[in-house]
Structure 1
């Protein structure tokens, strides 16, 4: 192999700059020749513990020059050395002794293996250090790749490249080979670029070239690389993973100002090292591209079939051909005798060829994960998070997506990293929402762990197995902790439960459902799951800190199957009410009054979940979010129904039907309940935004609610004539029901509940046209239960069904008018069931989208690049 055999032709040029002095090419050639003679003419398999040290490089070059295949392993990884020694039984083991000098342990004088004549080098595949699966490279592979890299980088004898990457890593090894081929100098060091001594060595040797993986650039940012005075630097190369386009632009512009070039490159161990590069003059304008094939190589795109397929034109799996394509893989010593088994390299990367001829990687086929039936591309999730300023590694793990997130590092105005004390908090809940929105997965299928440093292999590449491991560990109970049992939940168990359902990462023992922003849309699931964990549910659980909830729980063992449970009255009324509404409209039966009961339940939940101890502005913000969560899905559905049927008008669409003069036709009044609810929430938000009224409510919660009941009773009889043609559906008339529910939530004693009951008994009769005794009785009975009975006896199955119906009651109400007419003539009961299921599905979709809209808007908002700081000259 010429690059190893012809070292002496470069004469007295400096080959290696080391801590102990310089070594010329002539001296290096002599040492290589002596070691080659020691290895002998009979080919043997040499296992070399690689390191950026002269002795290790000498052994490597000697073996290549004499034709001995080299199995290169990380010298600082004893387990990898041991594993590969056991797997391949090398004939010679070259590793340092106790004094740091590389010694040759000649285990036999001839090889125990059949070694193919073309075999020159064995390297671990990316991410598989220590695995018996190796890449078999030929003499031609190594020589051709070195020549190609030296050509497109323009390496000359005056260059000096620092060994910033490990020797056993194909990228680091290619730096050695390509520079030795051209008689350039190597600054042979094992120091990190984060070490000030590295830069002393680099300047002293008049360094011209730096190579790095994405992590290297993280370190360069931290040490203030852009301010360094490096007058001899000519090029910076990057490979080993995707560098964010904005960082490519930043470094390209920095290089343009400082007088050096940035080469973004793409490669794999299976291609010896390199397959493509981005010409440096294009880096700033085409930062997302990997570029063009290296000299002597070529690409083709193989179309994909099945679920991996992309609809974009000129897109497919990237397939590479060239003299640097490996012979094939080895998985045991028997494979060392094989010749070429691979003619072209199927990279596993999904790519597209842009109109300008540059190739772009759009995904990684082998990293696709199947999660909850969906095919997920973790690389796309990483790229999306990167656009939001979040550095993360993602990996599929069974039915979850594991995400490791690096803590954010605050930047000064010049772009420099600040001290560790200035690290910004990372919102794990936001990361979960972003990832879930990108993938279409539920938030609970995303595991997020915030770490100080993203896990990497020795090569600097992502360690995805560590990502899976650390996120599992973060979410599992401590070793020896018992599983959550009925009545046996610990405070830690409850914290995990709240974090899961409310999608919060800041849950502590002092948190409560209300303090964490829980609302009526999440309390159904929370109450059912909480009762399952505690055994019984205290009446004021939503405002009770978790440590106090735990102390309320009875000490119980796991009960037998089919045990009796309790169900909150509010949940039961929501479930029963929506079934009666839909069933009466079909009709399957005729029991009216469900919507009026739901108004009382809405007031009850309003007081419980939106009137906690939070300060006034936070209260108002929470109420604003609740209004949107009701109004937006409603308007969207009504717009859809308007286009579909033409039964509505603009007043319905903007929820203003009750405010305008209308006739008595049925379709126009279908959504009176939604309109009333939005009006009540909007008006009360405005009231509570007034500091004086906010303080009054806090001083006397029940008195304030009772005052609203009084106002509602006045409106019930419409003294000002504000009611519209359908009296019993007018917001001003039915507000007293909402106010009664609010007051019921604030009532703590029988003397407080008695006047509410009296109001109920006096005001509901006569509300409905023609008396309607059954409807009146149902409303009175339902709201009386809400006032006096906090929970009802129930069963597990009933709780599960009631929870689903109650949580989706708004969405079932919205959609059922346009579902049941298509089915009721065939089967009224089936029409009822389908209407309920359809509403549940619409609710799930609406909730998912409403949680994602803020992040989607943030993603669409144009972002400005930070100004590039000028280097100090």
Structure 2
């Protein structure tokens, strides 16, 4: 153990040390709290005191959360070198902990509580006075090769970035990238340097909750790698209303020039600027940027050196005089590399940075990258060392050649047939790449050049999929989406983008879970391409003996697939999860029909399903699509509910005398016809159609559309309040079945809508409190009914999924997907069987409704507007 080294004040990072200078300005905004610079400085000082006066190496599990950021700033302000690692990659944490024996490990414990594990009271290493930060330079492979950065590197790069971006203390930047990634870290550093605010979030830009947080915080700045822009395209970013947005920055790999130009033009129309940037971890983060006014006309360029930096071109063999290796100089160039603890004592070993990129300087003074000299590849924003991946596979008994470009990592391997999936999963786990970005080909002999060296160009060619072959897994997701949604599905399509709604959501979710083995709760907003990466190993379908790929099964009804699947043993033992909204729909329709048949008397689920309808309205109708597209989808959903309902009810009116004609046009609630319960049989359908018509009209107003997008939780919460006026004022005025009047129950629809938009425990607790306080009294002298509604909607608010088994999921799927049609048809079924055969009446009602659902679904797929 080395002699304790007291902390010299000059050896710390000024922007981390001087946070308190910004006083009460907002520093951090999270879903749970808002911290001023003074409060942040106090937390940083307390953690710095905990780290002690003797310099120690701190391994920090990076995450976009307050405690991780506080620890990082505390170490920088007090001079403790930080080894920053991805907090979600256990193998990398383990590998670097073993390689560098940190004195302190800062990370969450098993319960999620932030913990400082102090392993050495004094440093076990000799730490150079200038050393401030250690970052990985090869993605997340756990390679011991790290970049050594100094206090001056961090300060200089933050100052340079803040200068050319024009960051000031009114900015609010979202943490759209991981903290352990140098680009994401540079956003944090440059924002705090200028006393601006960080919107600290771990949500993806593909998550609707991210945009709720961003709008609520009045976000001004977004940062992204090329894959981030893929996600932005998918969520309709260019049509979003983001009135406070000032700039969008891009780095982490080449963005196609045509996309640069398109985003630059979009920014010009919307009032924000696009900054295309170029950098490497070895330069702390940034080396060049493209001035925004040139982005549209020179989108192929990386731009000019950042303030304080400079480039030169070093001649490269085999290239003309105007092309050379790009060499960068500036105060942000790293001290050098570290490959072991012995290197932590070293000072500067590098004075300029050989980037490995081939570039040219154009007559207008801009630099353009034209190729690479080294084998490093930046894939989806991660810098991957193919040689390190080869070594990783060798450790697992697989000899392979790896080559990468900006899109994929190509791997040719000596292994047994069928080992592709295992190799792909191993690389994805160790490197942090998504499976879709890894192509593996198993060979009997690896390709080599005539010199005996690996032929990496052949590796790329061998792993490139044939154009006519669909992507893995073998299950044809494109066909599945096209079949259920009657739409032209593409790899970048999602359930929501194709116009999916609650009527086909259940069938799609169950079919996908059967195909892929597991579904995340936000699957409906993920693209088909992303869902392919979730496929369980067993979900990949092998080719037939003749080499042909399996063809998709012909379309069948949900009931037919369920009955057929019951013949397999796997069906009865497979553990699954089922969304709470699906469970409530399935259980609810059985209890509603059973109570009408008088098999039992359990009431309240119709009102729960009003809340579920609001919940699904928010998820499927209020997407980030443009205003016109939103309204179009709303009217389509209204038609899919109203047309089948009016057709069935019209038949009932013509064939029986129990239903008033006002029901056939869904006007009974407005005309207040009749006192018999059959006169009010279809109140639920009427209420749902009324709600959607009114909301479609409101969302057609640009101002109201923008208001909803900006206040995604606040708008439905306000509507709950408005709805409660009707709940209390009209409950006593309406004489005929007031608890069935649409105006009385609208607040439940709005509550479900708010539940879908609630992203914090505080918001969910607020909705629960409103429910518990306002529900009593809706049903006079029916405490059980009141309690059932409270319990059901509380589950919807707090519990997204419930455990299930194959048989239960299949049965729930059939019942939930047909719930509306079971409700419509059961009034014409059960009266004929109720007296002598109540159970038969119940089952017959369910079967007829499921049958009508199958007919409606088949017709709807042939009628585009329906």
TM-score by length of 2: 0.46
Larger radius of gyration: 1
